[in-house]
Amino acid sequence: MKKVLLEYANVFAYTITGLIFGLAFFLLFINFYHMQELAETVDVSAYNDTNKASVEEKIETIRNNINVYNQSTYNGSLNIYGLNTVQLKLQDCLEIIESEDMMKYFELDEIGINDSYNFTVDFKNKILNDCLVMQVKSLFNTDTVATLPNFDTIKPYVELDLEALLDSTNYVQSNIENSDHYYFSTETNKANFFNLVDDSYSDIMNSYQNSLDLLVEVSNWYRDIVIGG
């Protein structure tokens, strides 16, 4: 009887061991295909060239607009502390936009899912937070800036656009993070993953351009009040 029970125990143990090895092989197998999907890339060379030219044009517009003011030669009647604040905040934004951390994405010929994710995170942290929130939003909560002409017109416009931009990245980042799941690779899944890489990058690039459009509008307002004041 003991011998029979021992044989049954051995069979059961071998069965469990086989199932464990089978499961391990299965996970390795699907991980291999998932790694292939993670390696999918999208050609963005022409797309990046076009966007880089647009970004550089907007940067030049912002720089020219804020440089119409020079404290040492200004003879107008506007509050110089308010004018100084706006100029300095926009200059800080230009430094962030022109930093290597942001401009490096325009040099990419191909992008993968990691590039899309990193672009999303850098845009969120640097352009949205460090520039638009810490610089632009804060300047419109400054008493000296509140004394400048048309402040009540430009402030609601900035706040509305900023709120939309802050919401724009959340779903993109969430979609990329949720793409890290296990399944057998099919042509449909590959196409969906390829589209996720492309769409995520395009969505953030559009938000990037919209952010610069907002800065251009603020700089246009600044130029107009300096010239008119």
Q: For residues 91 and 85, what is the distance between their CA atoms, to the nearest angstrom?
A: 10
Q: For residues 198 and 114, what is the distance between their CA atoms, to the nearest angstrom?
A: 12
Is pLDDT above 60 for 36? Answer: no
Is pLDDT above 70 for 229? Answer: yes
Average pLDDT value for the chain:
83
Give me the amino acid identity at 27: L
Give residue 29's pLDDT band: very low, low, confident or very high (50, 70, 90): very low
Sign of the torsion formed by the C-alpha atoms of 221, 226, 228 and 229? positive
The model carries a pTM of 0.79
Least confident of 38-47, 61-70, 136-145, 150-159: 38-47
Q: For residues 207 and 166, what is the distance between their CA atoms, to the nearest angstrom?
A: 9
Q: For residues 62 and 86, what is the distance between their CA atoms, to the nearest angstrom?
A: 12
pLDDT score for 171:
67
Give residue 25's pLDDT band: very low, low, confident or very high (50, 70, 90): very low
* Continuous H helices in the chain: 2-38, 45-66, 80-97, 100-103, 113-122, 138-139, 143-146, 151-168, 170-177, 187-228
Least confident of 6-10, 140-144, 147-151: 6-10
pLDDT score for 7:
54
Per-residue tokens: 149: 């002409």
75-97 pLDDT, tens per residue? 999 999 999 999 999 999 999 99
Is pLDDT above 60 for 104? Answer: yes
